[in-house]
Amino acid sequence: MNYRHAYHAGNFSDVVKHVVLSRLVEYLKQKDKAFRVIDTHAGIGRYDLSSTEAQKTGEWQGGISRLFDAALDAPAAALLAPYLEAVRSLNSEGGLKKYPGSPLIARHLMRKQDRLSAIELHRQDAAKLRALFAGDFQTRVIELD
């Protein structure tokens, strides 16, 4: 399998997908009842936008970079708030240097009672994902097709 998401993380389609994901998680939180997010194609969970891969395509500049500091009207800001909060929490030192993948966005928005199963087929990516969530009892990383 040749596909590596590090070349594409934070691009336009990632942003659209992750905004929808964040709205779905927020919707599930309307009830106190616990839920489990099953991310079947999880990736590595956290992407360095200064990496060789991200710099090579520059795709994130047409995606999250355009949205990160954009002036939004109130309805758009409210809709995007959970997603942008997840991105900002990864960039607490200022600027836009890192981008969260779907498992990290879901995890950021989950409550104490919720759980995440993150599945990744690529051996090295699964290892990175496991390291990212090491010690997190709410998250289970599975190397699996």
Ligand X SMILES: C[S@@+](CC[C@H](N)C(=O)[O-])C[C@H]1O[C@@H](n2cnc3c(N)ncnc32)[C@H](O)[C@@H]1O
Euclidean distance between CA atoms 78 and 83, whole angstroms: 10
Contacts of 35 (CB under 8 A, 6+ apart): 28, 114, 115
* Smallest separation (angstroms) from ligand X to the CB of 42: 6
Between 40 and 113, CB nearer to ligand X: 40
The residue among 75 and 89 lying less far from ligand X, judged by its C-beta, is 89
46 in contact with ligand X (CB under 6 A): no
What tokens appear for 26 in the block?
């927020």
Task: Map residues 61-100 to x or -, x wherever contact with ligand X holds by CB under 6 A.
Answer: ----------------------------------------
Give the H or E element holding residue 112.
none
Query: Which residues between 112 and 131 bind ligand X (CB under 6 A)?
Result: 119-122, 125
Rounded CA-CA distance 86/96 in Å is 12
How many C-beta neighbours within 10 Å does residue 70 have?
11
Residue 13 structure tokens: 């389609």
The Cα–Cα gap between 97 and 130 comes to 21
102 part of the interface to ligand X, by CB under 6 A: yes
At closest approach, how far in Å is the CB of 121 from ligand X? 3
- Pick the binder of ligand X from 22, 25, 43, 114 (CB under 6 A): 43
Query: Where do contacts with ligand X occur on this chain (CB under 6 A)?
Result: 1, 3, 5, 17, 40-43, 101-102, 119-122, 125, 145
